[in-house]
């Protein structure tokens, strides 16, 4: 279950009110701005924690993202006109695709003809075997495990 904006707002409001009541009744010397600040601080700390608990709780729905590990694959020789949804649709027939990132030139914004897809680890070998040297939008794809990104200091 994903926690939406409305649910987080409601949870935050509840904790803000509870914090206000707690701090306003705890001491009569506390000024209203300080009480409100304390209430907002409590709601700001507790709300994200609760939201993460709710999001990570097991769901009975079938639409929960798989907890299987994912691996990143490099996909080269992509058509420049291809977009993320088309690439995801193509690879989804071979594996459970978690994400697609197509690289663009920073200056021009045009696609570079390669990208990366994240698939469930158990599907990696099968995906590479079935899609490497396959034809996608009149181009022969090159698919292989992605190399680890090297950070330059």
Residue tagged 């701090």 (tokens):
23
Residue 101 is part of which domain span? Answer: 70-145
Question: Do 39 and 77 belong to one domain?
Answer: no
Q: Do 33 and 82 fall within a single domain?
A: no
pLDDT of residue 135 exceeding 90 = yes
In a domain, 150, yes or no: no
pTM beyond 0.85: the answer is no
- Do residue 22 and residue 45 come from a single domain? yes
* Spatial separation of the C-alpha atoms in residues 91 and 127, rounded to whole Å: 8
Q: What is the CATH number of the domain that holds 81?
A: 3.30.70.330
pLDDT digits (tens, 9 = 90+) for 94-121: 999 999 999 999 999 999 999 999 999 8
Condensed to tens digits (0 to 9), the pLDDT of residues 32-75 reads 555 556 555 655 665 565 566 555 555 444 444 445 788 999 99
Give the DSSP H or E segment for 75.
strand 70-76
Structure tokens at 144: 């292989």
């Amino acid at each position: 279950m994903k926690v939406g904006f409305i649910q987080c707002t409601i949870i935050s409001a509840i904790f803000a009110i509870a914090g206000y009541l707690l701090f306003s009744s705890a001491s009569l010397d506390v000024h209203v701005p300080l009480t409100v600040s304390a209430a907002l601080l409590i709601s700001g700390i507790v709300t994200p924690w609760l939201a993460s608990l709710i999001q990570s709780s097991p769901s009975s729905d079938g639409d929960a993202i798989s907890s299987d590990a994912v691996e990143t694959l490099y996909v080269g020789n992509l058509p420049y006109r291809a977009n993320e949804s088309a690439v995801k649709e193509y690879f989804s027939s071979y594996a459970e695709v978690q994400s697609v990132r197509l690289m663009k030139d920073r200056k021009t914004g045009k696609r570079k003809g390669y990208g990366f897809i994240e698939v469930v680890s158990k599907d990696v070998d099968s995906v590479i075997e079935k899609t490497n040297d396959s034809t996608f939008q009149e181009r022969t794809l090159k698919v292989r495990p992605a190399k680890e990104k090297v950070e330059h200091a």
